[in-house]
Amino acid sequence: MSQLPIHTLDRVMTDKEASSVVGDMVTWREPNVDEAGIYRDSETGEAVLLYAPYPAKTTELRRAVFSTEYGATLRATGTRNVSRVFGFTTRNVMTQKEACRPTSYSYENPDAQRTMNATATVLGEYLRDQLPEVYEADYQQAEAVLPEWRMTDDSLWTSGVINQSSQLPYHRDGSNFDTWSAMPILRRGMDGGHLHLPEFDATLNCRDGWAVWFNGYRYVHGVTPMQSRQSDGYRYTIVFYAKRGMKDCHTYAVEIGEARKKRKAREMAMVGEDLTAVKNKLSSETLLSNGVVKIEK
């Protein structure tokens, strides 16, 4: 595999200045990052981006994306984000999900999940070949997560999301490890929808069949507006990332066992509350039947 050329990016914002635009919508911008290569900070020499054609055929990946059912969420900015998560996810007390677990994608569309696993391998190997120092540093962090919670036993990533023609405001991937993500792009008949990193004023041309690798935890990024040129136009990005909370997950067997205990305790507490309510009702009815006046407060 040939080594990609090296390009440089000039920093135009400090990290603090970039943070000030988080939550803002990205304005229309024409791409100024258009060539395949490794892009480094011109001052520090640190790798910022890896941008290249997807290093395999996209046939299976495209099939998986098209076979996926998506859901829409409304953001505070008023925009709709149409997406679907895959891989693994952490416990969530608020939604009573008491165990680390595979996402519903894994059993609703197992063939597509297997394709995502294979894609994670392709993307990880390409990053290792082009930027071994980044790969090794990220792999050391990934080892904090048990192999069964990674997309493959030796994968850099635990999870992912497919975004369907969604314009995302400036943000950082704050729930992830401080590691690189990978993002293949599939598109047709769609203008705009490019990736912008304000710290370098770098707008990546999100071409069909290309991919970008970068640290979405460290660098603020967002998506430019997009406009479909035809009725069946689309823009999909498939983002692979390492979810930081997965490092706290025990083995699958332990997670399921603990979840059952918590669920049983919650159900018993609910039964106890119901019994208390029945006792209180019976006591009130007894007082009333004995001629005691019940005073409502």
pLDDT of the chain along its 297 residues, tens only?
Answer: 789 999 999 999 999 999 999 999 999 999 999 999 999 999 999 999 999 999 999 999 999 999 999 999 876 666 778 999 999 999 986 667 789 999 999 999 999 999 999 999 999 999 999 999 999 999 999 999 999 999 998 899 999 999 999 999 999 999 999 999 999 999 999 999 999 999 999 999 999 999 999 999 999 999 999 999 999 999 999 999 999 999 999 999 999 888 788 777 766 766 665 556 556 666 655 545 555 544 443
Check residue 97 and give its pLDDT. 79
CATH 3.60.130.30 fits 6-247, yes or no: yes
Check residue 190 and give its pLDDT. 97
Check residue 25 and give its pLDDT. 96
pTM for the full model?
Answer: 0.87
Check residue 295 and give its pLDDT. 43
Check residue 74 and give its pLDDT. 75
Check residue 165 and give its pLDDT. 95
Check residue 288 and give its pLDDT. 52
Domain boundaries of the chain, sorted by first residue:
6-247, 250-292
CB 221, CB 197: distance < 8 Å: yes
Check residue 252 and give its pLDDT. 93
Q: What is the 3-state secondary structure (H, E, C) of the chain?
A: CCCCCEEEECCCCCHHHHHCCCCCCCCCCCCCECCCEEEEECCCCCEEEEEEECCCCCHHHHHHHHCCCCEEEECCCCCEEEEEEEEEECCEHHHCECCCEECCHHHHCHHHHHHHHHHHHHHHHHHHHHCHHHHHHHHHHHCCCCHHHCCCCCCCCCEEEEEECCCCCCECCCCECCCCEEEEEEEECEEECCEEECCCCEEECCCCCEEEEECCCCCCEEECCEEECCCCCEEEEEEEECEHHHHHCCCHHHHHHHHHHHHHHHHHHHHHHHHHHHHHHHHHHHHHHCCCCCCCC
Check residue 258 and give its pLDDT. 81
